[in-house]
């Protein structure tokens, strides 16, 4: 499977996860989640409300990110995406850097709104293309945002699942562990076990992730690419229209 086909697959998987959402927000540097949200709108008319950070046309906030955070705290956002330089088996995420804080090497941009949104938005989809032991670690070196909290802490949101370029996991809140749901074409259970730095639950006959249909691929090219172009011109051209 080529990189472009893989990315189209990721877009179609995420779109399917947004079908039941009324309001989805997409953060910085997120062309794949942005494309997925637009695809879901084109296919099912859901999410009804969408805010892509950095967009003017697909963003109705009139008070910037401040309004995004206020919306999240009030429960007005159903789904959001977070990534991380490191993600561990308890769904803790690290956006700060490797090594000892504060003199990290390398230092990544920083925590952004993750410490807030992870706690408040019900369906947070962890998304990171790279599937390796470097990224999917046993324990993160810095917790930008915690995967779980004890019950005295107000928490309406948290991890729903983890999507990489090899597989999709759901997060089991009871067990506080990931459960492998499907493996993308081109990978295998063995490949996932070899490249994941944390333990997770799985079935020996784990299903293969279904590929997007020709109809869905056509909508990506004809409907999603022109809308995504405003914010992610290079991605829209190189991936969706390809």
Partner 1 sequence: MLITLSELADKVPDGAKIAVPADYAGISMAATRALIRRRARNLHIVGVPTSGLQSEMLIAAGCVKTYESSALTLGEHNPPPAFNEAVLNGSINIVDATCPAIHAAIQASQKGAPFATLRGIIGSDILQHHPDWKVIQNPFNETDDPVVAIPAIQPDVAIFHAPLADRDGNVWVGRRRELINMAQGSKTALITVEKVTDDNLLENEEFAAGTLPSLYIGGIAHCEKGTWPLAFWQGEDENGDHIRLYKSMAKDPAGRAEYLEKFVFGEGSPS
Question: Cβ closer to partner 1: 54 or 197?
Answer: 54
Binding mask 96-125 for partner 1 (x = CB under 8 A): xx---xxxxxxxxxxxxxxxxxxxx-----
Nearest to 31 by CA among 70, 58, 65, 60: 58
**What minimum distance in Å lies between the beta carbon of 200 and partner 1?**
21
Beta-strand pair 93-94/79-82: unpaired
1/115 with CB nearer partner 1: 115
Contact 34, 7 (CB under 8 A): no
- Among 16, 49, 61, 198, which residue sits at the site for partner 1 (rule: CB under 8 A)? 61
CB of 239: closest distance to partner 1 in angstroms?
14
C-beta atoms surrounding 95 within 10 Å: 21
64 binds partner 1 (CB under 8 A): yes
Find the binding residues for partner 1 in span 128-157 (CB under 8 A): 142-146, 149, 152-154
Give the angle subtended at the CA of 28 by the CAs of 230 and 35, to the nearest 5°.
Answer: 50
Residues 32-42 as b/e (b if ≥16 CB within 10 A, e otherwise) read: bbbbbbbbbbb
Binding-site ranges for partner 1 (CB under 8 A): 28-29, 53-54, 56, 61-67, 69, 73, 95-97, 101-120, 142-146, 149, 152-154
């Amino acid at each position: 499977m080529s990189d472009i086909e893989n990315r189209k697959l990721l877009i179609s998987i995420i779109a399917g996860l947004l079908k039941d959402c009324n309001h989805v927000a997409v953060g910085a540097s997120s062309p794949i989640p942005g494309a997925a949200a637009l695809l879901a709108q084109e296919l099912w008319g859901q999410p009804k409300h969408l805010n892509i950070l950095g967009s003017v046309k697909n963003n109705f906030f009139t008070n910037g990110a401040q309004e995004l955070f206020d919306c999240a705290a009030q429960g007005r956002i159903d789904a959001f995406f977070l990534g991380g330089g490191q993600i561990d088996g308890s769904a803790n995420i690290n956006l700060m850097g490797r090594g000892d804080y504060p003199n990290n090497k390398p230092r990544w941009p920083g925590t952004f709104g993750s410490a807030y949104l992870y706690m408040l938005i019900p369906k947070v989809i962890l998304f990171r293309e790279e599937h390796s032991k470097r990224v999917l670690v046993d324990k993160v070196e810095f917790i930008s945002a915690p995967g779980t909290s004890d019950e005295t802490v107000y928490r309406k949101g948290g991890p729903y699942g983890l999507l990489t370029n090899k597989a999709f996991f759901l997060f089991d809140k009871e067990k506080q562990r990931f459960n492998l749901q499907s493996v993308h074409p081109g990978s295998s259970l063995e490949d996932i076990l070899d490249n994941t730095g944390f333990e997770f639950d799985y079935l020996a006959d784990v299903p293969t992730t279904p590929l997007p249909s020709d109809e869905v691929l056509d909508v990506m090219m004809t409907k999603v690419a022109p809308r995504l172009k405003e914010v992610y011109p290079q991605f829209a051209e190189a991936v969706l229209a390809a």
